[in-house]
Amino acid sequence: MSANCPAAAVVVLAAGEGTRMKSSTPKVLHEICGRSLVGHVVAAARELDPRELVVVVGHGRELVTAHLAQADPAARTAVQEQQNGTGHAVRMGLEALGGGGRVDGTVIVVCGDTPLLTGETLRSLATTHTTDGNAVTVLTAEVPDATGYGRIVRDEATGAVTAIVEHKDASDVQRAIREINSGVFAFDGQLLADALGKVRTDNSQGEEYLTDVLGILREAGHRVGASVAGDHREIAGINNRVQLAEARRSLNDRLLTEAMLSGVTVVDPATTFIDVTVTFEPDALVHPGTQLLGATHLAAGAEVGPNSRLRDTRVGAGARVDNTVAEGAEVGEQATVGPYAYLRPGTQLGVKAKAGTYVEMKNAVIGDGTKVPHLTYVGDATIGEQSNIGAASVFVNYDGEAKHRTTIGSHCKTGSDNMFVAPVTVGDGAYTAAGSVITKDVPPGSLAVARGQQRNIEGWVARKRPGSAAAKAAQAAVAEPDSES
């Protein structure tokens, strides 16, 4: 084991059922901040750069295995057919690594349901373990309420850890101990394999307890150590949806704190939610009620919200996005979006472009300086630079069978209430008249008019609606044309 490789192997325990989630989804696949619970644990473990990473799966194993193949293709899985305890689970994990379950070097064991655990804490555990020359080092924490946890029993004289006693097996005196087992350990791989062979099942749950390994190693004269976590919240395991929400809140706070310390203004952290994969540049600003998800990126001075949900969306420097839902979109520098816009995948707004109020776009490339200000659907289109699309226009992209594309050039001015029936092209510098249904290509520089001619039938109201309020108003207007305006 080299110095920059603090762990030879990491074993992630994720075979349990998670009954208290009351869910058809396996517990470790529930998500917070854009990643599954087990995904967070695996990502933290990866910071140790282990040679092997194995996830022990059991309940819902098909789903968990399929998920891991996506989230971390290099992770191995080991099946634990029956949940015979944490010791048994680690044994299954190590056996899947070959070599008769004997790993040379440090083995780290973590649970798949502790998403707040950081790589930093794991590194410091591994370092303590190696520096102190321990056979096993347990990560512990002082918690306000230790109910349900395994208690850390220490020698009164030396303070050395002597055993971990499960809550169900603990005496009243032991239950008063507030230092608990986080479920995270560093082991010497060889000694762990020996000790796991000696773990018995004579406890209240009839299981192979991983925690018994401590006593076994200690009695054999090996060093047993503990590393106390700085923040007990980091080791919190998720068992139900209340804890899931608490963990999400906690992680979200951590992410927002990092963002703010790196120069992002978050107006209201209490109503702002971000995924671990979101990135920012300094002086980005996020207004209340905003969710930033997936690979969303806010460049310097970009301003988003209030009340916006952006997924996998890049917002350029100085752009303004207000009351908007966007997914898979790219917003150019100093572009403006909303209020009340919906940008769907494949939308690309150029520099200083605009997608205004009640505007929906999909698969649309909008050139620099081009504006689509009001009440418009732009689907499957390319628009050049410095063009203006009139209010209430529809890019009619679907003929009931297939989608087609509309191309509009640069410096075009299209009238309000236009229908662009794709496939159709409007050339550079062309105009279209209000109310036009554009079905044929418009040459550059032309004005296209595609609507019925207006016909005024004079005196119709007086003849057909005699005595009505309309007829009286019309009669007065004709008598005194000046007062009309």
Distance CA 108, CA 11 (A): 6
Q: Does 16 bind ligand UD1 (CB under 6 A)?
A: yes
Beta carbon of residue 407, minimum distance to Ca ion (angstroms, whole number):
59
225 or 409: CB nearest ligand UD1: 225
Eight-state DSSP code of residue 323: S
Q: Which stretch binds ligand UD1 (CB under 6 A): 105-113, 254-262, 264-272, 436-444?
A: 105-113
DSSP 245-266: HHHHHHHHHHHHHHHHHTT-EE
164 or 391: CB nearest ligand UD1: 164
Q: Does 164 bind ligand UD1 (CB under 6 A)?
A: yes
Q: Let me know if 167 is a catalytic residue.
A: no
Q: Does 109 bind ligand UD1 (CB under 6 A)?
A: no
- Number of helices (H) and strands (E), helices first, in the chain? 10, 37
Distance CA 311, CA 278 (A): 9
Structure tokens of 168?
């169900």
Question: Which residues ranging from 254 to 273 are in contact with ligand UD1 (CB under 6 A)?
Answer: none
DSSP 198-245: T----STT-S--TTHHHHHHHHTT--EEEEE-S-GGGGPPP-SHHHHH
Which residue number is nearest to ligand UD1 in terms of Cβ? Answer: 150
At 240, the amino acid letter reads N
Q: Does 150 bind ligand UD1 (CB under 6 A)?
A: yes
210 or 310: CB nearest Ca ion: 210
56 or 341: CB nearest ligand UD1: 56
Distance CA 268, CA 343 (A): 24
Contacts of 285 (CB under 8 A, 6+ apart): 264, 265, 267, 301, 302, 303, 304
E strand or H helix that includes residue 469: helix 469-479
Question: Which residues ranging from 172 to 191 are in contact with ligand UD1 (CB under 6 A)?
Answer: 180-183
Structure tokens of 346?
């494949």
87 or 390: CB nearest Ca ion: 87
Q: Does 111 bind ligand UD1 (CB under 6 A)?
A: yes
At 475, the amino acid letter reads Q
Out of 88, 374, 404, 411, pick the active-site residue: 374
Question: Which residues ranging from 184 to 243 are in contact with Ca ion (CB under 5 A)?
Answer: 237
Question: What is the total count of residues that contact ligand UD1 (CB under 6 A)?
Answer: 28
Q: Does 301 bind Ca ion (CB under 5 A)?
A: no
Q: Does 370 bind ligand UD1 (CB under 6 A)?
A: no
58 or 356: CB nearest ligand UD1: 58
Beta carbon of residue 18, minimum distance to ligand UD1 (angstroms, whole number):
7
Query: What sections of 52-118 are H helices per DSSP?
Result: 61-71, 86-95
* 431 interface partner picked from ligand UD1, Ca ion, none, CB below 5 to 8 A per type: none
Beta carbon of residue 277, minimum distance to ligand UD1 (angstroms, whole number):
24
Whole-angstrom CA distances from 359 to 348, 394, 474 are 14, 10, 38
Distance CA 301, CA 315 (A): 10
Q: Does 199 bind ligand UD1 (CB under 6 A)?
A: no
Q: Cα dihedral sign for 12, 147, 150, 121?
A: positive
Q: Are 432 and 447 in contact (CB under 8 A)?
A: yes
Q: Does 15 bind ligand UD1 (CB under 6 A)?
A: yes
Distance CA 187, CA 191 (A): 8
Which residue number is nearest to Ca ion in terms of Cβ? Answer: 237
Q: Which stretch binds ligand UD1 (CB under 6 A): 207-215, 253-261, 294-302, 315-323?
A: 207-215
83 or 271: CB nearest ligand UD1: 83
Q: List, by residue number, the catalytic residues.
A: 374
Chain residues that interact with ligand UD1, rule: CB under 6 A:
13-16, 56, 58, 80, 83-86, 88-89, 111-113, 149-150, 164, 166, 180-183, 209-211, 237
Chain residues that interact with Ca ion, rule: CB under 5 A:
237
